Chain A
């Protein structure tokens, strides 16, 4: 992450997410899966409480994040641009 903040954030709507895991396959650097299957921000990405739900992304991850947003079967993802 550069000093000027993340290029964008991936917002996870937990009320929709069912842990299908597609996003974690498209964004392996940013997201892992917890023991129940839900996406979890990679440890280095979480600097504040917000980062766990609005996961910071690098510019290089934006294209994959847009795929994840469009392909999530539960429409649980939204890219937030700064």
Chain B
């Protein structure tokens, strides 16, 4: 059964929301007319209705990578904006839709902004009303802002939304880097003394969500938490977009339910399980897994081994490594890229990632001695946790998972032989 049909089957009993795909129900490049035809207006809710409570009941998690409950940040901003005699007033909250998508293997945010910009805008408009927001931004690369600008021109209720062009770097989408860019024009992560929800853009309560999270928020505002939970599992409700790349017939964005089995998602993308050696789940900061028996769930424990059966989908990247490609060579190319994408602010990241890339490169090339794995592990421990943002930790997770998943290959490489014909750099598009 394909992921798409699973969604349709699970929605059988609900009245309000779209059957089948949720986020793309209005079709390709949907304008306002198609958008309203598919979803209807956002209903006017009574005084006893609260978006914050609805989000909490829905169980929606952030779709940008970290996967925290979307309502937590919402509630934190709601709390911080209220008058408090101990804290000076700082101006209304700031809402940001983050579509920077610096991850090279991800294009689901671009796909969403091109096809369903009105859903993202609806989510922002609904939250701005509830939180009395002072400023609202949509932050994305230039190519993906064009359809958003066209959508904004079609409606009168979103004139307060400003578009901001994101630089094309890996760390530009990190939440503190987004706020930093809006303030200073430099998209570099910050050392955070306080959470953004309490003190973000110019010291104001700031809510940064991935654009897909805002689109789901728009659906929760329309159809409610109960409808949202009719797809997915109780632990990982709703649907999410995934970008499928690598050794696939064609690169696609799919909408899949929470808790979806990885092999059925790959089957929907036309990838047979016998063609797959391993899958990188979550992107360059994600982890390699063998797909057998693995499900994608935001509820998976952090750093859990895929032996537990569930792996976090992170930013929704699924990169397929076919038989005949070397996982160590692919990983080495990724670490090399990540080292180059360090913001060069934090010493352990600035020096540690290139050192890691160098050792991984030697491991992939089969030119290292027997102490190589120990050196990789020493560098991983040295870099972990020592940065202002998640960049070093994400890289550490990628390499850990590679050593685990490709343990047999590591042994062969140390013996000077690679089982697979290894096109170096084969993973980077």
Contact = CB atoms under 8 A, between A and B. Distances in A.
A17 interface: yes
Contacts of B386: 12, 14, 38, 40, 52-53
Contacts of B345: 14-15
B346 interface: yes
B40 to A, nearest CB: 45
Q: Which has the most chain A C-beta neighbours within 10 Å: B189, B348, B387? A: B348
Contacts of B348: 14, 34, 36, 38, 40
Nearest to B348: A38
A29 interface: no
Contacts of A6: none
A50 interface: yes
B357 to A, nearest CB: 15
B388 A52 contact: no
A19 B348 CA distance: 10
A49 interface: yes
A78 B193 contact: yes
Interface in B396-422: none
Contact of B347 (A14, A46, A49, A53): A14
A16 B193 CA distance: 13
Given A14-B387, A14-B388, A15-B190, A40 B382 contact: yes
The prevalent SS among residues of A at the interface is loop
A67 interface: no
Interface string B337-369: 000000001111101100000000000000000
Contact of A51 (B382, B385, B387): B385
B297 to A, nearest CB: 22
A14 B349 contact: yes
A65 to B, nearest CB: 17
A46 B381 CA distance: 10
Contacts of B351: 35-36
B292 interface: no
B183 interface: no
A13 B191 contact: yes
Given A36-B347, A38-B347, A38-B348, A15 B385 contact: no
A18 interface: yes
Interface in B371-402: 382, 384-388, 393
Nearest to A18: B347
B388 A15 contact: yes
Interface string B101-141: 00000000000000000000000000000000000000000
Interface string B315-342: 0000000000000000000000000000
**Among all A-B residue pairs, the 3 with the closest Cβ atoms:** A52-B385, A14-B346, A49-B385
22 contacts: A12-B386, A13-B191, A13-B388, A14-B191, A14-B346, A14-B387, A14-B388, A15-B188, A15-B191, A15-B346, A15-B388, A16-B191, A19-B347, A36-B348, A37-B347, A38-B348, A38-B386, A40-B348, A49-B384, A49-B385, A50-B385, A53-B386
Given A14-B349, A15-B190, A36-B351, 8 more contacts: A13-B388, A14-B348, A14-B387, A15-B345, A17-B347, A37-B347, A38-B347, A49-B384
